[in-house]
Amino acid sequence: MKDLWNVLRPEEQIELQLRKLYGQHHFHLYRLNSFEEFDNYQQQRNFLRDSSIITFTGNDGRTMALKPDVTISIVKNTPSGERRKVYYVEDVYRHDRHEGEYQKIQQIGLEIIDEITEKDELEALSLAWQSLALVGEGTLDLSHIKIIDGICDRFPVEERENVLQALNRKSSHEMRDLATMYRLPQQEQEHLEKLVRLSGTFDEKFEKAQHLLALFPKALEGLNELKVLQEAQLKDQSLSDKIRLRLDFSIINDADYYSGLLFQGFIKASKEIILHGGRYDHLLERQGKSQGAIGFGMKLNDAGIKTAPKDSEYLNIALPKGRMGDKVYQLFTQAGIASEGVFEDNRKLIFVDEAKKLRFFLVKPSDVAIYVEHGAADIGVVGKDVLLENAADVIEFLDLHLGKCKIAVAACNNFQEDESRPLRISTKYPRITRKYYNGLGRSIEIIPLHGSIELAPLLDLSDVIVDIVETGTTLKENDLKVIQDICPSSARLIINHATWRFKQQRIQEVIEKVRHQL
């Protein structure tokens, strides 16, 4: 029997251990079809966190879909009022925006569908903890929908998405701008800036969070509910000490579905979130069900990674080549982050500072966010225009105020818009352009270009361009002018989500040294 066990891959061994664990807690295996009707998923698109869906037409003419999510299917097939306590091992299909292809992701997870009690929440949290511990050293981060709602309630409804993004990115500068725009009291502004950055072990950060949330009663209520769960959790002596319980308000799930506790799991050897969970009563309400629900799903694809990379003692920093890069190099040296002379040999792509255990990578500016998001770099410096265009899932911690410019729409001096047809736009920023004009309700045709974009309207290739504008000199020299501003841009210091959980102290030291120079 031992020989058979050794034949299994690490992720297969973990799957069997988890199935045994869930069975011992009286969860029953739930099996799903590989595909269901597309409408079932289409109606719940927000819950899917913008996942694209693979569809096909069945023999009877119905539009079917390969499942992008398991929870929605379980909820759909659970009658109103019925209790279910199930676990699953299923493949789901999600679109990878970087590769432009779909990925098959093996998930294991569990759902409790019932009148949810504190005991149910504790059981879900405990099993999430134990699931992560079987994979390796990690963290379980907690938040609560009431905390998120309590913060969002201080702003107009139409700004909710921007507030959520500021929380998710830990962007205190974005939160400050929003708070200033809507003239929140000074003390509230200061507390919100600090709340955005607050992150750490539950015991260390609870009192500070309690103080900062005192001005936001609903949010404070959510925090106190987390404290009750945390104190009950500590009584469970069987939980592995490989997992740390953290408080972090950057956990953002759709409030139309989630209704209370939120949690995420990270493993030190993986550079992404591997476990998502929370209480989602609203999802059942929207489907006319009378129960509540709590559950989580964990990627098994990453479960085979059980040891941290050998270079984990280094802090890996991706810096941009070119003009902005030169300014950043100078800033890092002046801040005492890098030792003098580290960047002297400009033929290198990797600079190692052995004394301070730092590794610097020189990469194309448009690639910095990709290196950070995928965990090849822990920290990076990149323009806001690149972040917006790539929609990179990173922490945008600091505005360095370098490379200041704006993304704008420009046209010939004699331009007259013809609203009877789609506007033709040349740009290297198609995502930003589409989002901007979708907000205006304007029909457009995008013509992708990557160089000498100013030529496009001069040669009648397009009506206008969307590009970075710094001084406007190039536009003036070519008889062009800015007709609309889209948004400002400058260099931002970004951090990988998983790295932040495991190297927070070292990263915080870098941030404070940089902040002191600004």
Q: Which position has the token pair 């580290």?
A: 342
pLDDT in tens, the chain (518 residues): 567 777 888 888 899 999 999 999 999 999 887 777 766 666 665 555 555 677 777 777 777 777 778 888 899 889 999 999 999 999 887 766 555 667 788 899 999 999 999 999 999 999 999 999 999 999 999 999 999 999 999 999 999 989 999 999 999 999 999 999 999 999 999 999 999 999 999 999 999 999 999 999 999 999 999 999 999 887 777 788 899 999 999 987 666 678 999 999 999 888 888 999 999 999 899 888 999 999 999 998 866 555 555 557 889 999 888 888 778 888 888 888 877 776 666 667 788 888 888 898 889 988 999 999 988 999 999 999 999 998 888 999 999 999 899 999 999 999 999 989 999 999 999 999 999 999 899 999 999 998 889 999 999 999 999 999 998 999 999 999 999 999 999 999 999 999 999 999 999 998 999 888 87
pLDDT for the residue numbered 352: 84
Q: Which fold has domain 315-404+491-517?
A: D-Maltodextrin-Binding Protein; domain 2 (3.40.190)
pLDDT for the residue numbered 252: 79
Cα 44 from Cα 26, distance rounded (Å): 29
pLDDT for the residue numbered 465: 96
Q: What class does CATH assign to 1-299?
A: alpha beta
Dihedral through CA 12, CA 17, CA 20, CA 23, nearest 10?
Answer: -90
Same fold yes or no, 315-404+491-517 and 405-488? yes
Convert 352-371 into a string of H (helix), E (strand) and C (coil).
EECCCCEEEEEECHHHHHHH
For 170, list phi and psi in degrees, rounded to 5: 55, 40
- Classify domain 405-488 at the CATH superfamily level: Periplasmic binding protein-like II (3.40.190.10)
Contact call for residues 131 and 18 (beta carbons, < 8 A): yes
pLDDT for the residue numbered 308: 52
pLDDT for the residue numbered 72: 85
Token representation of residue 343: 């960047």
Domain locations in the chain? 1-299, 315-404+491-517, 405-488
Look at the alpha carbons of 171, 177, 179, 182 in this order and tell me if their dihedral is positive or negative.
Answer: negative
pLDDT for the residue numbered 251: 86
pLDDT for the residue numbered 303: 60
Cα 46 from Cα 69, distance rounded (Å): 12
pLDDT for the residue numbered 313: 80
- Chain mean position to CA 231: 28
Token representation of residue 86: 């199930």
